[in-house]
């Protein structure tokens, strides 16, 4: 395009008109070019905006799908975790219930066993106490009978000893009398030895004196034998008293056994 000619003061009106006409055509052409350029730029911008919008929409849809997929996955995971935890909780609760039942059963069994053992021990204690009481009663009865018999024997022995003491005193008095009689007999016999024969009265008196001496000697022998028997009976009472002491120790041992059973 040729540049328009600049107007001069010397140009004619026709030339000015041509100049301005050419200038108007040039400007019109430039306006058309600018319009075309602006339309192209608008179209290109609109296409770019549409592409960006479409791209953003696609990206938003992808993100939305990913979000939904993630939400589904999270929900599934949560459901699976919840189910797993629920199963574990149910299992733990069942185990707890089983353990409580087992513990209760064991405690009940232990209580029943202890109750049976306590009942058995009580029965054994009652049996032992009954046997101990029976033995103590038997020993007490035996000891009371023995003590009664021993007391009676002791009283009899004491009475016998008193009588024997009296007999001994009497025998001593008789021995003194016998000694006197013997001296008298010797004195009576001595003068008659030379005569060779004794008178009848003297013989009778001598016989009476000898009989009295024999009787007194027999009394003395019986008294000494009774004394020996009394000494043997005293030894028997000493042995019986030792037996009673042994029985007393047995009863005290029975009472100690009863005390141990009470403990």
The whole-angstrom separation of Cα 262 and Cα 258 is 6
Map out the domains of the chain as residue ranges: 147-262
Residue 160 — very low, low, confident or very high, per pLDDT cuts 50/70/90?
confident
Residue 153 — very low, low, confident or very high, per pLDDT cuts 50/70/90?
confident
Region 147-167 average pLDDT: 86
pLDDT above 90: percentage of residues in the chain: 25
Lowest mean pLDDT among 154-158, 182-186, 190-194: 190-194
Residues 6+ apart with CB under 8 A from 129: 258, 261
Contact 164, 230 (CB under 8 A): yes
Residue 163 — very low, low, confident or very high, per pLDDT cuts 50/70/90?
confident
Q: Looking at beta carbons, which pairs linking 40-44 to residues 24 or more positions away fall under 8 Å?
A: none
Query: What's the pLDDT score for residue 85?
Result: 92
Residues 6+ apart with CB under 8 A from 153: 233, 237
Residue 167 — very low, low, confident or very high, per pLDDT cuts 50/70/90?
confident
Region 184-204 average pLDDT: 57
Query: What's the pLDDT score for residue 257?
Result: 43
The whole-angstrom separation of Cα 222 and Cα 135 is 44
pLDDT of 197 > 50? The answer is no
pLDDT of 121 > 90? The answer is yes
Burial (CB count <10 Å: 0-12, 13-18, 19+), residue 171 = buried
Crossing angle (nearest 10°) for helices 200-262 and 13-189: 180
Query: What's the pLDDT score for residue 224?
Result: 60
Query: What's the pLDDT score for residue 96?
Result: 92
CA–centroid distance for 170 within its chain: 79
Residue 263 — very low, low, confident or very high, per pLDDT cuts 50/70/90?
very low
Q: Give the predicted TM-score (pTM) of the model.
A: 0.34
């Amino acid at each position: 395009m040729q540049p328009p000619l600049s107007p001069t003061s010397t140009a004619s009106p026709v030339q000015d008109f041509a100049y301005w006409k050419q200038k108007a055509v040039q400007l019109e052409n430039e306006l058309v070019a600018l319009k075309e350029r602006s339309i192209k730029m608008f179209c290109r911008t609109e296409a770019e905006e549409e592409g960006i919008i479409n791209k953003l929409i696609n990206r938003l849809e992808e993100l939305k799908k990913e979000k939904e997929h993630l939400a589904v996955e999270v929900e599934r995971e949560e459901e699976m975790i919840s189910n797993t935890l629920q199963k574990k909780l149910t299992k733990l609760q069942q185990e707890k219930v089983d353990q409580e039942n087992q513990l209760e059963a064991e405690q009940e069994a232990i209580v029943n066993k202890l109750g049976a053992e306590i009942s058995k021990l009580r029965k054994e204690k009652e049996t032992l106490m009954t046997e101990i009481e029976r033995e103590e009663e038997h020993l007490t009865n035996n000891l009371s009978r023995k003590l009664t018999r021993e007391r009676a024997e002791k009283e009899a022995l004491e009475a016998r000893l008193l009588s024997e003491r009296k007999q001994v005193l009497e025998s001593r008095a008789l021995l003194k009398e016998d000694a006197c009689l013997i001296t008298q007999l010797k004195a009576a016999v001595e003068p008659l030895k030379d005569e060779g024969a004794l008178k009848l009265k003297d013989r009778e008196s001598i016989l009476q004196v000898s009989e009295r001496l024999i009787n007194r000697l027999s009394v003395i022998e019986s008294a000494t034998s009774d004394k020996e028997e009394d000494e043997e009976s005293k030894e028997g009472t000493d042995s019986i008293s030792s037996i009673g002491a042994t029985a007393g120790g047995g009863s005290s041992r029975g009472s100690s056994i009863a005390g141990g059973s009470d403990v």
